[in-house]
Amino acid sequence: MTNRSDERAVWQFWRWPLPWQILAGLIGGLIFGFLLVQWAQSNPEFSPRDFVLRWVKPFGVLFVNSLKLIAIPLILASLIKGVSDLQDMSRLSSMGGRTIFLYLITTFVAVCIGLVAVNLIGPGKGLPKDVQEKLLGDQDGVERVAKIAASAAKEQGKGPLQAIVDVVPENLAAAASNNGNMLQVIFWAIFFGIAMIVAPPQEVAPVKAFFDGLNTVILTMVDLIMLFAPIGVFALMASLIAETNDWRIFAALAWYSITVVLGLAIVLFGVYPFLVVGFGNTGYVKFLRGMLPAQLLAFTTSSSAATLPVTVECVEKNLGVDPKVASFVLPIGATVNMDGTSLYQAVAAVFIAQALGIDLDFYQQMTIVVTATLASIGSAAVPGAGMVMLVIVLAAIGVPQSGLALILAVDRVLDMCRTTINVTGDAAVATVVNRAMSRRKQ
Ligand code: ASP
């Protein structure tokens, strides 16, 4: 009979440890993408974009789709197992309370770091006028902004309690149907798990055995999918390079990008070590090493939801977090805890205001703190979602949404960076909750 650690033998299908494999795929993809772009310069009839779209990107899409495919079953199985394993409501409420508190605090701190950085650096003030006009007048950009604003319009104008109403689905199948309503699926799973705690144990035993088994099967599916991680990551990176056609714009937006990345780095090397080492009783090097596969995947896929299965694996297996804690804290975190996104929203909002010559007073900056915190909670765990919710932040401080055109060009790359922080933040909180819960047991 195999146990969970024997099953991990599938990871060793390739010779290298998984993080190295993914890193090799990432660097290989970047080099391949650049080579294609170089090749196109001496062969004008060759289009790197068309080539990757036809022959390379599909492998990346296959990989991401297979991860997304198991996100909902994973949330259902792992949350139901996690909640029902707790066997008592007071443990559940104590874990839930700690988790939500830590998620809110870390998001708040991240927004504040972003605000301080963007006000000190002032990247929007130095944006050359010709670049600004080019970006604001670009037809493609204007159309993309219109689409983003249309998606955001669904969120705007809702009543204050609507966010709570939206958590409770009318229909589980509909909620689980397109990965778009993770929070509703989470609600259903927690509710189901609670009912299992309350119901007579002997009658619930077969249901519990089913979900325990399902959880193991799904984690094994993650192992199998990860065998293809190097290929998927290679394809995603090569496509990213070949599809980017104007690198000069990156230079013009360098200060804005540097501000976002600097803020994210402060969170990664300042806030999280404080939490993980101080309250999670875990060495920070061990933490970063253990999380590397999930971080690399978050970076390449720009989706916390697609990365979730691997985040769960890393947190349980490499950081030694109790599966009961990981399976509760992480699915919720992937959906609501987005420190990187909230920080980016604060920087982007002030950057756009600075570039458009709008001075933001103290009250408006405080409005950013509140709206960016809420907007990041409301952002879906998929690529580009943070930008959709940014529309709400801009509306709250009276900055025109057309200003989004200024940051479109670099958003894909910044999305990769902020998603990495989003996923790392969930894991950091998992270590703290784990420590607190194990203390409570003693
Ligand atoms: N891509 C991010 C995530 O999945 C959300 C965002 O900021 O766009 O975590």
Q: Walk along the chain (442 residues) and give the pLDDT tens digit of each residue.
A: 344 444 555 555 456 778 888 999 999 999 999 999 999 888 888 898 899 999 999 999 999 999 989 889 998 998 999 899 888 889 899 999 999 999 999 999 999 999 999 999 999 987 878 778 878 888 878 888 888 888 888 777 777 777 788 889 899 998 888 777 888 999 999 999 999 999 999 999 999 999 999 988 998 998 899 889 999 999 999 998 888 766 677 777 899 999 999 999 999 999 999 999 999 999 999 999 999 999 999 999 999 999 999 999 999 999 999 998 998 999 999 999 999 999 999 999 999 999 999 999 999 999 999 999 999 998 888 899 999 999 999 999 999 988 999 998 899 999 999 999 999 999 999 999 999 998 876 5
Q: Is-contact 135 409, C-beta < 8 A?
A: yes
CB 196 within 8 A of CB 204: yes
CA 205 to ligand 1 center in whole angstroms: 38
Q: Regarding the domain with residue range 88-168+246-441, which homologous superfamily does it belong to in the CATH classification?
A: Sodium:dicarboxylate symporter (1.10.3860.10)
Which letter does DSSP use for residue 200 in this model? -
> How many A from CA of 301 to the centre of ligand 1?
10
Mutate to test the pocket of ligand 1, among 182, 419, 421 (most ligand atoms within 8 A of CB): 419
**CA of residue 302 to ligand 1 center, whole Å:** 6
Alpha-helical (H) ranges within 138-171 are 139-153, 162-165
Q: Which atom of ligand 1 is nearest to the CA of 379?
A: 5
- The reported pLDDT for the residue numbered 50 is 92
According to DSSP H, which parts of 43-122 are helical?
Answer: 48-51, 57-69, 71-86, 89-121
Report the residue among 310, 343, 422, 424 best suited for mutation to probe ligand 1: largest number of ligand atoms under 8 A from its CB. Answer: 422
Counts for the chain of helices (H) and strands (E), in that order: 23, 0
Ligand 1 midpoint to CA 331 (Å): 14
Q: Tell the residue nearest (CA) to atom 6 of ligand 1.
A: 386
Nearest Cα residue to 127 out of 14, 262, 255: 255
CA distances from 253 to 123, 128, 156 (A): 8, 10, 29
Which atom of ligand 1 is found nearest the CA of 384? 8
Atom of ligand 1 nearest to the CA of 338: 9
Structure tokens belonging to residue 276:
């993980």
Scan for tokens 């990664």, then name that residue.
268
Which ligand 1 atom is nearest residue 340's CA?
7
Tokens of 48: 């790197």
Given the CA of residue 418, which atom of ligand 1 is nearest to it? 7
CA of 305 to the centre of ligand 1 (A): 9
CA of 102 to the centre of ligand 1 (A): 19
404 closest CA partner among 153, 135, 128: 135
Residue nearest to atom 7 of ligand 1 (CA): 386
Alpha-carbon span 19 to 15, nearest angstrom: 12
Ligand 1 centroid distance, CA of 169 (Å): 23
Q: Which residues contact 180 (CB under 8 A, 6 or more apart)?
A: 380
Atom of ligand 1 nearest to the CA of 344: 7
In this prediction, residue 243 carries a pLDDT of: 83
Write out the two tokens for 249.
């714009």
Binding-site residues, ligand 1, Cβ < 6 A: 302-304, 338, 341, 379, 381-386, 415, 418-419, 422
For residues 440 and 322, give the distance between their C-alpha atoms in angstroms, rounded to a whole number: 13
What single-letter DSSP state applies at residue 269? I
Quick one: angle between helices 385-396 and 339-355, nearest 10?
Answer: 50
Task: Give residue limits of the domains in the chain.
Answer: 88-168+246-441
Instruction: Fill in the DSSP letter of residue 358.
Output: P
Ligand 1 binding pocket mutation candidate from 302, 413, 423 (most atoms within 8 A of CB): 302
pLDDT score of 10: 53
- Ligand 1 atom with the smallest distance to the CA of 341 is 7
| C-alpha of residue 372 to centroid of ligand 1, in Å | 13
pLDDT at 13: 47
Amino acid at 8: R
